[in-house]
Amino acid sequence: MSNTRKLTMAQAIAEAISQEMTRDPNVFVMGEDIGAYGGIFGATGGLLDKFGKDRIMDTPISETAFIGAATGAAAAGMRPIVELMFVDFFGVCMDQIYNHLAKNTYMAGGNIRLPVVLTTAIGGGYNDAAQHSQCLYATFAHMPGIKVVVPSNAYDAKGLMMQAIRDDNPVMFMYHKGIMGLPWMAYFEGSSNDVPEDAYTIPFGQAKVVREGKDLTIVTISQMVQKALLAADELARAGVSAEVVDLRTLVPLDRDAVLKSVAKTGRLLVADEDYLGFGLSGEISAIVAENLDTLALKAPVRRLAVPNVPIPYSRPLEQFVIPQVGGIVEAAGKLMTARLAEGAAA
Amino acid sequence: MQASKETLLWMYEKMVEIRHYEETMANVYLEGKLPPHIQKGLAFDIGSGPVPGEMHLAAGQEPVAVGICAHLKIEDTVVGTHRPHHFAIAKDVPLDKMTAEMFGKVTGLGKGKGGHMHLFDPVHKFSCSGIIGASLPPACGAGLAAKKMGKDWVAVAFFGEGAANQGSFHEALNLAALWNLPVIFVCEDNQWAISVPKSESTSVDCVADRASSYGIPGIFVANNDALEVYEAAAPAVERARRGEGPTLIEVKTDRYLGHFQGDPEAYRPKDEVANLRKNDPIPKLAGVMRRLGMLSDGDEAAIVARAKQRVADAFDFARQSAYPAARDALDDVFV
């Protein structure tokens, strides 16, 4: 194993891109403010100096054009990485993504490869309001044809980014702003961790049990993993042993890891920063419900997510709608005392 | 069109008010965001203090807002950008409610739900958006509504030069030209789309040249000068009111501050802003008015005092207002 250093998630992502660009001349990066600025969230820091303007290309604010161009360039043999600053901005170019990038391989009967990585920042918690704070990973996971990667820490981010670049399919790589380790935004320090200098990949579709426990399972992803770990510490002090499962990728989804953990603990809490309705928490709950013939629950499943309202600006409102550490602890407590209906197997 | 004394005084006072507002906000915004009150190791915390989140200020860009809005009535629609304060102030959006919104207070324009990029004032027909290029289509809609209702109202879409490369710019110009809508499209060209200069993002030197693609007039205003903007806008607004269709106006203007407050601006030449400030549009207009005998020292002192008082009152109102109750977050998704 090579030397490791503590990196922020932003540094880990930039390093993964840099190493893949060195290895493969077909990899290049396009996007807004990714050159001299180094990406608004630092995901392309230092790359312009290393690779020059031909491979680190600042774009006009023309997302339909440059994301569509990524699809075209990929079909022609290149491996573009394309950043679109905030996931909230995808509306301006969604047709090129969900009708073309996501579907062309299928409509071609598998006869074309579209190795495109779309990178974008997600998440709230710093009062940037309704158009700059969403997660929306479930929206992209809902639509067939795009793999969806949502790391919770620097180590995973590097390995998952390398895997994303090497994958021959479209990948959405979504990084939460509040775990990037930026010098201008509060972040969860557990997200900066030891990262090997050498290249490595982390396969998609492998969730990680980031904390073992026996009383309940918290299934989560992205920044919420860091919140869940802090909540698990608090719960432990109260005598409750929580297992925390970091899904790491939504597409493909590691159903077995969810089922295995819930079979062990008998209780499921999904903690999610995306919207509650028709989303991740519903999907995970459904997977468990579909398998109640082989696993037994001790309590009904609980879901924590953003209620179906846009993210409000004002601090007390935003703190109320986005699940916090205290909210996870509270929900876990309720889960521990909840009971199934009489007659239900336990 | 020659501006009247009354118009010049109005523009001057609004510019002073905008500048003072933005400079006040720049200071207030820093409250609570610097060490040692924030997470250890951070230089700045965007999510702390009484006004958290991104903050895009328009100091230096006052001439565009006042030169256009001087022609408008309360019934005319203005759609602004992510950098919206100067437009809002020039459209007479109440300063107290606007400021309360940025403090996230229940007395704000949107009860604290919108924040500084999402200001909605239906009384003064003002709105804005944090998405680049989002102002142009709704302005077409306001123009369409005026036309259908038989009114002589016009709509103005403000947008930056970076937005001129968005699909919405091209689609909206075509639609407005095709349907002969009373819209004035105003490109605020401050040369920078965050860190990307216009020369590296735009296929033509002059956005106004793109008007010819849609068969509408394109007007280029070369200087960051309120009078020049005012004079250029006059025929465009008159043309729209007469029902003769849209116009595209491009104004060269200057962004004195970062894209957002806290932007390190490493991409920007060090002396650029200092040089821009040498041609500051506010003393420039004052000089013109003095030469015309329209502004005495006493007038100027009174204007500055009034503008500063309005800003101070608005910030006091915002600070003293209450936060919404947390559960209010669940209201207003639908009416």
Q: How many CB pairs under 8 A join A and B?
A: 155
* A314 at interface of B, judged by CB pairs closer than 8 A: yes
* B266 at interface of A, judged by CB pairs closer than 8 A: yes
- The pLDDT of residue A2 is 79
Q: Of residues A32, A132, A243, A273, which has the active-site annotation? A: A132
Calpha distance B30→B50 (Å, rounded):
9
Which pLDDT tens digit goes with each residue over A92-124?
A: 999 999 999 999 999 999 999 999 999 999 999
Calpha distance A244→A253 (Å, rounded):
16
Q: Which helix (H) or strand (E) holds B306?
A: helix B297-320
Interface of B with A in 4-43 (CB under 8 A): 38-39, 41-43
* Cβ atoms of A308 and A277 closer than 8 Å: yes
For residues A326-346, average pLDDT: 90
Nearest to B42 among A186, A314, A317 (CB): A186
Calpha distance B252→B231 (Å, rounded):
14
- The distance of B174 to chain A (nearest Cα, Å) reads 17
pLDDT at A344 over 80: no
pTM above 0.90, yes or no: yes
Tell me the CA distances in angstroms from B119 to A173, B81, B192, one per residue in order.
31, 10, 23
Long-range CB contacts for residues B291-296, cutoff 8 Å, separation at least 24: B292/B5, B292/B8, B294/B5, B294/B8, B294/B9, B295/B9, B295/B12
Calpha distance B134→B114 (Å, rounded):
16
Determine what percent of chain A is predicted with pLDDT higher than 70: 99
φ and ψ of A220, to 5 deg: -160, -175
Q: Of residues A63, A83, A273, A283, which has the active-site annotation? A: A63
Nearest to A309 among B323, B324, B330 (CB): B330
Can you list the positions of beta strands (E) in B229-303?
A: 247-252
Q: Which residue on chain A is closest to B35 by alpha carbon?
A: A184
CATH dotted code for A208-337: 3.40.50.920
Calpha distance A151→A137 (Å, rounded):
12
Contact A316 B38 (CB under 8 A): no
Task: Please state the separation of Cα B123 from the chain's center in Å.
Answer: 18
* A45 at interface of B, judged by CB pairs closer than 8 A: no
Q: Which of A150, A164, A141, A327 is nearest to A231 (CA)?
A: A327
Can you list the positions of beta strands (E) in chain B?
A: 77-79, 126-127, 155-160, 183-189, 192-193, 196-197, 218-221, 247-252
Contact B133 A61 (CB under 8 A): yes
Instruction: Tell me which residue has tokens 């990084």.
Output: A175
- The pLDDT of residue B189 is 96
What the block records as the tokens of B22 is 């933005």
* B129 at interface of A, judged by CB pairs closer than 8 A: yes
φ and ψ of A147, to 5 deg: -80, 145
Residue A165 CB neighbours (<10 A): 24
* B204 at interface of A, judged by CB pairs closer than 8 A: no
Residues of B in contact with A59 (CB under 8 A): 196, 201
Residue A290 is a catalytic residue: no
Nearest to B115 among A91, A127, A308 (CB): A127
pLDDT band at A342 (very low <50, low <70, confident <90, very high): confident
Which pLDDT tens digit goes with each residue over A183-230?
A: 999 999 999 999 999 999 999 999 999 999 999 999 999 999 999 999
Which residues have C-beta within 8 Å of that of residue A289, sequence separation ≥ 6? A301
Q: For chain A, give every domain's residue range.
A: 6-196, 208-337
- The distance of A319 to chain B (nearest Cα, Å) reads 8
Bridge partner list, A56: A29
Helix, strand, or coil here: A96? helix
Interface of A with B in 113-132 (CB under 8 A): 125-132
Contact B47 A186 (CB under 8 A): yes
| Domains of chain B (ranges, CATH numbers) | 5-321 (3.40.50.970)
Calpha distance B164→B91 (Å, rounded):
23
Calpha distance B55→B47 (Å, rounded):
11
Phi-psi category of residue A129: left, alpha or beta, with phi > 0 → left and psi -120 to 50 → alpha: left
Task: Please state the separation of Cα B125 from the chain's center in Å.
Answer: 14
Q: Which residue on chain A is closest to B163 by alpha carbon?
A: A61
What the block records as the tokens of A150 is 């949502």
- The pLDDT of residue B1 is 64
Calpha distance B229→A320 (Å, rounded):
45
pLDDT (tens place) for every residue of chain B, 335 residues total: 689 999 999 999 999 999 999 999 999 999 999 999 999 999 999 999 999 999 999 999 999 999 999 999 999 999 999 999 999 999 999 999 999 999 999 999 999 999 999 999 999 999 999 999 999 999 999 999 999 999 999 999 999 999 999 999 999 999 999 999 999 999 999 999 999 999 999 999 999 999 999 999 999 999 999 999 999 999 999 999 999 999 999 999 999 999 999 998 989 998 999 999 999 999 999 999 999 999 999 999 999 999 999 999 999 999 999 999 999 999 999 99
Calpha distance A123→A220 (Å, rounded):
14
Residue A83 is a catalytic residue: no
Enter the ipTM: 0.93
- The pLDDT of residue A62 is 97
* Cβ atoms of B124 and B56 closer than 8 Å: no
- The pLDDT of residue A343 is 76
Mutate which: A54, A61, A180, vs B, most B CBs within 10 A: A61
- The pLDDT of residue A75 is 96
φ and ψ of B58, to 5 deg: -115, 20
Q: CATH classification of A6-196 is 3.40.50.970, yes or no?
A: yes
Which residues have C-beta within 8 Å of that of residue A143, sequence separation ≥ 6? A98, A102
Strands A193-196 and A4-7: antiparallel
Which pLDDT tens digit goes with each residue over A20-55?
A: 999 999 999 999 999 999 999 999 999 999 999 999
* A61 at interface of B, judged by CB pairs closer than 8 A: yes
Which pLDDT tens digit goes with each residue over A225-248?
A: 999 999 999 999 999 999 999 999
Contact A127 B44 (CB under 8 A): no
DSSP state of A252: S
- The pLDDT of residue A345 is 56
Mutate which: B267, B321, B335, vs A, most A CBs within 10 A: B267
